């Protein structure tokens, strides 16, 4: 009987040892999986932190540059005023043409068209003079105080000759919504 008990004890001991090894293996496997998940979460959290830091840096940059952006916005609002101000456009074109030694022979305004945030005022400008003066006028129009988009240029004459004739098809703009807001605040 003593042999049976020792065999049973040995079997139980071996069974418990195997069970302990299996449970230990399962715990190690679970721990490795949890560790891997934690590492993946740490990587994700680090990526989110990097994105948040980049966003915060961008917001700080925007905050620091806000006065510059406000000044640029004010300048752009002046380029697209709340009123058509055709006289101002005509004055600007004559001034730019004279500065480039060109003669303005005609300025015609076309039918206006309402867009989402502004009104387009088509215009045709006929200029006569030298080709370099035409190029200078185009550059000055681009950097002028009023937003004018040149859509088409028809040039007749030759560069080598002293005179060319150019018809510019362009658009000036004004912000009708701003004019309406200003009128509402006055009342």
Cβ neighbours of residue 166 under 8 Å, at least 6 residues apart? Answer: 126, 127, 128, 134, 153, 154, 155, 156
Say what the pLDDT of residue 160 is.
Answer: 58
pLDDT value of residue 171: 93
Global pTM? 0.59
pLDDT the model gives residue 80: 86
- Here the tokens at position 145 are 């105080």
Mean pLDDT of the 20-46 span: 90
pLDDT score at 151: 93
| Arithmetic mean of pLDDT, 63-85 | 88
Q: Is the pLDDT of residue 1 over 80?
A: no
Give the pLDDT confidence score for residue 116 in this predicted structure: 82
**Region of residue 101 (left: phi > 0; alpha: psi -120 to 50; beta: else):** left
Which tens digit of pLDDT belongs to each residue from 147-162?
Answer: 889 999 999 886 655 6
Q: pLDDT for 77-131, tens place per residue?
A: 888 888 888 999 999 999 999 999 899 999 999 999 888 888 999 999 999 998 8
How does the average pLDDT of the chain come out, rounded?
86
> Among 166, 170, 165, which residue's Cα sits nearest to residue 148?
170
pLDDT digits (tens, 9 = 90+) for 17-26: 888 888 889 9
Read out DSSP for the chain?
Answer: -HHHHHHHHHHHHHHHHHHHHHHHHHHHHHHHHHHHHHHHHHHHHHHHHHHHHHHHHHHHHHHHTHHHHHHHHHHHHHHS-SS--HHHHHHHHHHHHHHTTEEEEEEEE---EE-SS-EEEEEEEEEEE-HHHHHHHHHHHHTSSS-EEEEEEEEEE-SSSS-EEEEEEEEEEE-HHHHHHHHHHH-
């Amino acid at each position: 009987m003593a042999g049976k008990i020792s065999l049973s004890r040995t079997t139980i001991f071996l069974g418990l040892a195997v069970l302990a090894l299996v449970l230990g293996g399962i715990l190690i496997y679970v721990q490795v999986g949890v560790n891997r998940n934690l590492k993946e979460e740490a990587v994700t959290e680090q990526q989110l932190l990097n994105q948040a830091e980049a966003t915060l840096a961008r917001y700080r940059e925007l905050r620091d540059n806000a006065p510059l952006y406000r000044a640029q916005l004010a300048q752009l609002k002046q380029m697209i005023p709340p009123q058509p101000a055709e006289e101002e456009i005509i004055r600007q074109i004559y001034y730019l043409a004279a500065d480039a030694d060109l003669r303005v022979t005609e300025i015609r305004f076309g039918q206006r068209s309402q867009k989402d945030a502004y009104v387009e005022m088509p215009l045709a400008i006929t200029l006569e003079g030298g080709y370099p003066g035409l190029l200078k006028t185009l550059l000055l129009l681009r950097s002028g105080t009023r937003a004018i988009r040149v859509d088409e240029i028809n040039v007749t004459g030759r560069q080598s000759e002293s005179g060319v004739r150019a018809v510019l098809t362009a658009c000036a703009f004004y912000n009708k919504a701003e004019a309406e807001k200003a009128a509402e605040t006055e009342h």
